[in-house]
Amino acid sequence: ADGDKWTGGIPSGKLVYNVGYFYDKISETESFNKNDNQFVARAVWLPNMGSAKALLHLALSGRWADANNGQLQYRSKPEAFLAQSYAIDTGKFPASHANTLGVEAYYRPGPLMFGMEYYFNQVSSHETNDPLFHGGEIFAAYMFTGELHPYNAKGAYFERVSPAQSVFDGGRGALEAVLRYSYSDFDSGTIRGGKFWRITPVLNWYLSDNVRLEFVYGYGHLDRFDLTGATQFFQTRIQLQL
């Protein structure tokens, strides 16, 4: 969405904040547009910033968003782009606005890293009894080759891994294992959009700063329409970045 964003922090670098207002003029007809006016804010506390200690990232975020044309819809594929249908889907329903609260926690003591994010989305919709949807993820990752996930202190986010030895320079690249669990609950009020969780082991091979290979297995479980079922996923990705 089009709008304005302000990023700042305190001199010690231990607190970073982002504030934005998006007014949906240029992006009104885009397929990704789900809301009209939006106000978002995020505050990140970095208690160990400026020291040699392990990195700890703790954050809170919030969003207020108008419904687009008086309706909202939340849906998601089962974390696989080629899936032919959405695993969970609320369908379009009447609403005036939605408030979202998010929490983040990341801990990076070295090549090992832990992280989690979780979001609560309260919708103002009298017709559907003001549903509350929620979901998030938790993961652990380990770099076998010793590299760290670099951290952007100004924006308060992790950046891509830079291998110590590029494969294209005769090196081995960087090898990482990740274990991730995700969960989403779209059942609330009179809405029955479904519940879905997935466990995903991942092997990442960073060939260089610009090339990454990803090998993924996933086991997902869906509860919807008074039925439950499981799906296994086998996925690969070649990622090129400038």
Instruction: Please classify residue 68 by burial: count the beta carbons closer than 10 Å to its beta carbon, then call 0-12 exposed, 13-18 middle and 19+ buried.
Output: middle
For β-strands 132-143 and 151-152, DSSP reports them as: unpaired
49-58, 95-104, 120-129, 160-169, range with the lowest pLDDT: 49-58
CA 66 to chain centre: 21
| Positive or negative torsion for Cα 74, 102, 198, 147 | positive
pLDDT of residue 26: 66
The model's confidence at residue 36, banded by pLDDT at 50, 70 and 90, is confident
Q: Measured between alpha carbons, how far is 117 from 139 in angstroms, rounded to an integer?
A: 9
Q: Is 127 helix (H, G, I), strand (E, B) or coil?
A: helix
Q: Which fold has domain 3-240?
A: Porin (2.40.160)
Give the start-to-end residue ranges of the domains of the chain.
3-240
Residue 129: CB atoms within 10 Å: 12
pTM score: 0.91
Q: What is the mean pLDDT of residues 211-230?
A: 96
Over residues 120-177, the pLDDT tens digits come to 999 999 999 999 999 999 999 999 999 999 999 999 999 999 999 999 999 999 999 9
pLDDT the model gives residue 29: 62
